Amino acid sequence: MGRKPGPGDKAPDFELPDDSGGSKSLRDFAGKALVLYFYPKDNTAGCTQEAIDFNGLRKAFAKAGAAILGVSPDSTASHAKFKSKHKLALDLISDESRAMLEAYGVWTEKSLYGRKYMGVERTTFLIAPDGRIADVWHKVKVAGHAAAVLAAVEALA
């Protein structure tokens, strides 16, 4: 696993399938800010709350000139069900190969009850319109996170 990209670095490129049968790539967002949030799993308590929080602020993010894109290793079918169940209007992309998760340094060793396993570290990247990383939030605590990211997006403008 390589170095985690940080502020000032060029955002690693990607092109992955989305929940609607299409695909999304970094170049789709050229010239606008992108909030790229990585989460462990659809339909778990923290991930659901994070998605609902970002979804609830999506108009404010759009007004500030930023798109929001959620990423997890779940399948596109899982993402579609997750969005429908929680009435989400966010775009979600699927990284079942984990290549993007690794490029962004968020596929890491985790520990639960003493058992070690590999999984997604909840992380959010704010990518500026020039394609460089403006800010990173590692090991995100969900409460208040979407609002904090929105404040950073508004400060970019």
Q: How far is CA 54 from CA 19, 61, 94, 118, in A?
A: 17, 9, 18, 25
Rg (alpha carbons) of the chain, rounded to whole number: 14
DSSP strands (E only) in the chain: 15-17, 23-25, 33-38, 66-72, 91-94, 107-112, 115-120, 123-127, 133-137
Q: Of 47, 71, 120, 149, which residue is the catalytic one?
A: 47
* Structural contact between residues 94 and 79, judged by C-beta atoms closer than 8 angstroms: yes
Q: Which of 82, 73, 29 is nearest to 54 (CA)?
A: 82
State the pairing for strand pair 66-72/33-38.
parallel
96 catalytically annotated: no
Active site residues: 47
